[in-house]
Amino acid sequence: MRILFVCLGNICRSPTAEGVLRQQLERAGLADRVEVASAGTGDWHVGKGPDSRTCRAALARGYDLSKQRAQQVKPEHFTRYDLILAMDSSNLQDLKALRPGTASAELDLFLRRNDAPLDEVPDPYYGGADGFEQVLDLIEGACQSLLVEIKGRV
C-alpha cells in the first residue's frame, strides 16, 4: 500500500503526518508493507527540509523529520499512490483539479478517517508554538485510526 499526505508547501502538516505514520508503521511491523510520503500543492519549498518549528515540535515527541525534503504533487502521484490524504479542503480541491483522468488514487481529507474534533488540520505556519502542538495532537490521533484501516487493507 502507498500513502501520500498533502498540504500546501510540504513543510509543516504533511511531513509531520509522514513522520508520525512512518513511526507507527515501524512499531506495528508494517513498515515494509506500506510506503509513506508527503508533498505540497505549491512549489515554494521544493527540496527544503520541514519548517524548523515543525521539526522541534516533532522531535520533542520522538519524531525525526530532518531527512525529509519537500516535493510538489505531480501527475504520476495519482497512479503511484493508493491513498492521497489532504490536510484541508483547499488542498483537496487543488488535488481534484490536478488529478489526471487516468488516476487510480483515492482522494480524501486526512481527518475524515478519524473522530477528530475538526475536519481539517489547521496550518500552523503563521501562528505560534501551540499551533504546532495542536497539529501533532490531531495527526497522532488520525494516524492511529489510519493504522487500523491499513491493517485491514494490507
Largest distance between two CA atoms of the chain: 42
> What mean pLDDT do residues 63-88 have?
97
Range of the domain at 69: 2-153
Highest mean pLDDT out of 4-8, 110-114, 124-128: 4-8
Instruction: Specify the CATH number for the domain of residue 114.
Output: 3.40.50.2300
Residue 118 confidence (pLDDT) above 90: no
Residue 116 confidence (pLDDT) above 80: no
Q: Report how far residue 119's alpha carbon sits from residue 126's, in angstroms, rounded to the nearest whole number.
A: 20
Tell which phi-psi region holds residue 62, choosing left (phi > 0), alpha (psi between -120 and 50) or beta. Answer: left
* pLDDT of 23: 97
Give the chain's mean pLDDT.
Answer: 96
| pLDDT per position as a tens digit, 6-56 | 999 999 999 999 999 999 999 999 999 999 999 999 999 999 999 999 999
pTM: 0.97
Q: What's the number of domains the chain is made of? A: 1
* pLDDT of 146: 96
Catalytic residue annotation: 7, 13, 123
